[in-house]
Structure 1
Amino acid sequence: MRLHTKQTISFCLNAVRKGLKMQGLSYAQVAEVMGVSEATIKRMLHDDSIRFDRLLTLCNLAKLSMAELMAQAEEKPASHSYFTDAQDAAFANYPQLLAFFSLLAFEKQSPDDIAHTYDLSPSECYLYLRALENIGLIKLLKDDKVQFLFNLPIGFSPTSLVLKRTLIDKVNRSLETFFSEPESEDFALVKPLHLPTNVHIKMLEELSQIVDKYAQMSEVFGHEGDAVTREVLIMNYLDVPEPELALKPVPKM
């Protein structure tokens, strides 16, 4: 499958759920056909990591073409959602909470797996889960199971405090690396530009298109062994005039 795989599968599953309903098929009937439990079918229909063969079977039962659905999904713009201000503030104040959430939501690790890997006690793991529940990202179920209360893709808004702190940290670390390793492959370009607003906007659009082009290539090459991780940071800001040069007092020589 091509880029945005999880988004594509989520799009297909949403269409399958509607298709099964239109065909008058209950979860119990689908479960019987596929030889699994009804609970498994319910999970399967919301699992963006579902096996290809199972997704194909579900499409067939819903009288849908999987190829056509995927083509539609690739053409459909991503419906991106953002963390709320309260969620952003919680992650900014407690970076470890964001790390726990990322493992849980993006890497699909169970609470038990996270606790085992990071040596968390059951009570410590529970506190993380309750914190995520308190800011409305999950709902705690029985046996420490969780229900996600958000849709992927999700991220930080342009005004996010977490994003600002992360950017500041990246800029500082990048500058340290750049100046401490002058023989490295790092590249920096500072170019003051005097441009009309419309020309300036056109330049930014072209830069964005170039970066997007190579970002898509990155998703392909990222699975190959010779790919090297690099980061590109483009900053655009209004120039702040230097303070006027003061020649007094005159230094004593």
Structure 2
Amino acid sequence: MTALVFDALKRTLRAKGITYAELADRLGVSEPTVKRIFHEKDCKLGRLSEICDAIGVELDSIFATIGNRPVPGARLSRDVEWKLAEQPALLDVLILLTEKFTPDGILQASGISPASLFLYFRDLEKLGLVECGRGLTVRLTVDLPIQWDLGGPLKPHIQKINQAFTGWVIDRTQVAPDDAYFNSFSRRMRPETVMRLEAEVSDLVDRAKTLAWHDQHTTPDAELAPFKWAFAVGRSPFADIFSIGPHPKDAGADAADGDPGPKTAFVVNG
């Protein structure tokens, strides 16, 4: 069991970006001492508690992570996806529940009445996604995180959500840069170079998901906040995203035909 505890501590150190040298400084010991402790995977309980305090986690939380790993997430049945697509507001309520919003939080965020929220909860219960209790109490019955099918019936709503999110981030970056980050650019590049960068982005996505999993298992819910991530890169489809019509002084002319070439896309939605 002790070895498993130190394996979990190592994962937590990596997740938090804390080196052995930094941990040694926080503990007031030498780096070789810390390396020896983690190599031997053995120390007194008091020292183990000191390590947890220095890392900023509870020992009970470390025990909770033992043997666990991030899961790829659950997929909804196509029938359930169609039902949610027919009522996008129902999907929005489900997403807020997966983000740990309380019923009061959903009411505050949406401005709907308690009666409407109760009916939404009942609709989700009919789909087998939640279990309703008394009043507005509800419990999710679907495994998290949910893996949304970008090619299924929910695609239009997922696109709408991400377009709205991108617009919000652009606006927020101007007024509160600490709350959001946006960067967009277009460059001529070799496809092989882009493929290498896509692999790096994919690794970053996996790391972000692993860090989120660690935070959720080592930090009280009250100290966590919901964050949305979105990555996108693709061969610039200028003909699809630009609308260049005839010049005002040549209103009777047709726009010149153009072939933007083959298009590819790489999209990751968090």
TM-score (norm 2): 0.45
TM-score (norm 1): 0.47
